[in-house]
Structure 1
Amino acid sequence: MPAPAHLDPRLLRAFVAVAEELHFTRAAARLYVAQQALSRDVRRLEKELGVELFVRTTRQVTPTADGERLLPYARRVLSAQDDLLAAFGQARPLLVDLNSPGLVTGRRVLHRARELAPDCELMARYESGLTGAAADLLAGRLDVSFGRFAGLDPALRSGLEQQPVRYEPMAVVLPEDHPLAGLPQVPVAALAGQEVYAGAGDPRTPEWTDLASRLFEGHGIRLAAPLPPAVGDEEFERIMAKTRTPVLAVVDFPDMPRTVRRPLVDPVPLSPVSLVWRRGLRHPGLDALRRAAAETAGARHWLRRPPGGWLPATDDDVMDPRGRQPTPHHP
């Protein structure tokens, strides 16, 4: 492969995006550029290197042998450029997934991180579910997310790192005239014989459905049948009024019209929340998020297990604070 005297990092970034997305339209959306500009940059890189990097058909884009050979080098160059810019206060924006609007844990960590690193641009995203976000983390479309790390497929976990943040007590959202709505707390056994919705069928949240299945086992509680995810308060209210199905949630789940949210007890089920990022990611915004997560968890006792708290053994292994990596130190 001929070696040009200089390669514009922008061209390498365009190449990496296409190589990872295997689709020009998706790659262009990921880089916030027009598809024509992206295609032009890839063609220019091919011309400068004197090789063809992709086989293009009307149905798919596939890297050539030279494209496969270039990819690890291009990734290292771009990582080094990001590190250099970050060292001089010019870090790119960090994309932080908060799962959905209204959830408290990730939002509090993000707000504190912005205070700790005011010169970093930490931009919130809402991908609704760690499994859905994980693919975007690995592809570089997101940088950081929150959720149940133990519930991810091992193949996804292998490319990610995590830091425990919170044991979040779980709750149930009920129609306001439901027979259990008058209780200040709902014993798990009181849901026996009922169907409870826990995201079944949602491809973005299988880690949540799996946690519900483990909790319901032995209690006579059935998972409600899959439904397309309700988007927006109005649609959530309509579906709940129509099905009258309780919804598994967490204690900080936002208020919804004509519903009540009640903590679950006997036992107190816990939703394990971790800060999750792409393995090898280096960014001052990530350092700030890790510091913020540790500070907030400590101040609010988020990693202190409540008496009678329930958690699957798989999550215990992940959330054990003794297994956490040390939080980066900053003078």
Structure 2
Amino acid sequence: MDLDLAQVRAFTAAAEELHFGRAAARLAISQQALSKRVARLEAALGARLLDRDAHGVGLTPAGRRFLEPARRLLVHGDRAVAAVACARRPLRIDVWGHLYAPMRTVARAVEGVPGLEVEPVPGRDLPSVAAAVLRGESDAGFGRVHPLPDGRDAGLAHRLVRLEPVDALLSTDHPLAGRDVLRPADLRAGVLRYPAAVDRLDFLTRFADRFGVDDRTGSTNLGLEHFVERVRTDPTCFSLLPADCPLPDLPVATDGRPGVRTVPLVDPTPLYAWSLVWREDDAQPHPGLERLLAAFGEEARRSRWLEYDPARDWLPGPDEDALGR
């Protein structure tokens, strides 16, 4: 039988979202159209792929068997279309870690490649970006890479492109706010505030484990401005930000002080690792990917982005291993 790729795409979206409304929004079609496509696919295959009831959507045994081959089919279909496309499409990069302003680094590299068209797309986090890249929906991803549970990042290649020093973010009322520099050990008695759920930020967790910061508290990710305001109004806590990350404009205190400040960390200086990721087995990578990697390399040499001295700096173990590779 001949499979209709639009029907296969509707099924995979519903299977991944486990929600017809979200799947329809992802494909920019109506929920009714999505339901019809899935029903026609099931009729053609002679098997129910999805269970739908008042509790939600779930995969049947046949649906579970069909899902991975269906994903591969869509990837190859997209490659076939791309191979004969009349107009070159932009290089699509899913970017995550937005509180730390990753586009600062991407822009520096892209500006060094005249004529390179890039379509940056906001990604939710590393797991979602990894899934999009592995499915062929994106050409690359950019952010901080760390090992994912259950090997969900298997099949991805990545290259470190920037190591950025990290500062402590403090309320001006914090007892340590008047210091010119701080050691990570100075923060041991404080409360490390995460800009999202505690289990969502691998770098902060590794920092806290390494330097003995036992008190940790999560937040709802409502953007950098909201997060910095939380730090400003709580002199018992601190957080970490890459040194070049721009702070939002916040109301000043009654005495004219800005309310928050960043203090450089030394002995050692923590480094935040930015990486570009792509699918390792991609037989037809976007032609702009190699040019972008070369541009990152050139900017890293020019701006000394990859300088690391283990006697002076600190990197989490996986980042240090990646730098060695």
Superimposed CA distance per residue, residues 174-212 of structure 1 (whole angstroms, 9 cap, x where no aligned partner):
22344433433323233343223245734432x123222
CA distance in 2, matches of 1:303, 1:290: 14
Would the aligned equivalents of 1:113 and 1:291 in 2 still touch at CA under 8 Å? no
Would the aligned equivalents of 1:53 and 1:63 in 2 still touch at CA under 8 Å? yes
Would the aligned equivalents of 1:54 and 1:61 in 2 still touch at CA under 8 Å? yes
The one-letter amino acid of 1:301's match is R
Would the aligned equivalents of 2:166 and 2:265 in 1 still touch at CA under 8 Å? yes
Q: Which residue of 2 aligns with 1:300?
A: 303
CA distance in 1, matches of 2:30, 2:90: 20
Q: Which residue of 1 aligns with 2:269?
A: 268
Please report the RMSD computed on the Cα atoms of aligned residues, expressed in angstroms: 3.3
Alignment of 1:87-126 (within 5 A): 87=83, 88=85, 89=87, 91=89, 94-100=92-98, 103=101, 105-110=102-107, 112-113=109-110, 116=113, 118=115, 120=117, 122-125=119-122
- Residue 246 of structure 1 and its aligned partner are, at CA, apart by 1.8
Runs of 5+ consecutive residues of structure 2 not aligned to the other structure: 251-257
2:219 corresponds to 1:227: yes
- Residue 125 of structure 1 and its aligned partner are, at CA, apart by 0.6
Superimposed CA distance per residue, residues 94-138 of structure 1 (whole angstroms, 9 cap, x where no aligned partner):
2512421561x44432564477485755133153x5356556656
- Residue 92 of structure 1 and its aligned partner are, at CA, apart by 7.8
Q: Which residue of 2 aligns with 1:309?
A: 313
The one-letter amino acid of 1:124's match is V
Would the aligned equivalents of 1:173 and 1:247 in 2 still touch at CA under 8 Å? yes
Would the aligned equivalents of 1:149 and 1:157 in 2 still touch at CA under 8 Å? no
2:239 corresponds to 1:247: yes
- TM, length-normalised to structure 2: 0.79
2:189 corresponds to 1:193: yes
Would the aligned equivalents of 1:269 and 1:311 in 2 still touch at CA under 8 Å? yes
Change in Cα spacing, 1:172 to 1:136, as seen in structure 2 (3 Å) is farther
2:323 corresponds to 1:319: yes
The one-letter amino acid of 1:94's match is R
Would the aligned equivalents of 1:151 and 1:210 in 2 still touch at CA under 8 Å? no
The one-letter amino acid of 1:227's match is S
Change in Cα spacing, 1:139 to 1:9, as seen in structure 2 (3 Å) is closer
SS at match of 1:150: coil
Superimposed CA distance per residue, residues 48-86 of structure 1 (whole angstroms, 9 cap, x where no aligned partner):
444433232222433445434443443333222222333
Q: Which residue of 1 aligns with 2:253?
A: none
SS at match of 2:165: strand
CA distance in 1, matches of 2:172, 2:230: 14
Would the aligned equivalents of 2:271 and 2:315 in 1 still touch at CA under 8 Å? yes
The one-letter amino acid of 1:294's match is G
Runs of 5+ consecutive residues of structure 1 not aligned to the other structure: 324-331
Would the aligned equivalents of 2:48 and 2:60 in 1 still touch at CA under 8 Å? yes
- Residue 308 of structure 1 and its aligned partner are, at CA, apart by 0.7
The one-letter amino acid of 1:242's match is T
Change in Cα spacing, 1:286 to 1:111, as seen in structure 2 (3 Å) is same
Q: Figure out how many residues of one structure are paired with residues of the other and give that number.
A: 310
Change in Cα spacing, 1:142 to 1:239, as seen in structure 2 (3 Å) is farther
Change in Cα spacing, 1:33 to 1:119, as seen in structure 2 (3 Å) is farther
Percent identical: 33
- TM, length-normalised to structure 1: 0.77
Q: Which residue of 1 aligns with 2:169?
A: 173
CA distance in 2, matches of 1:84, 1:9: 12
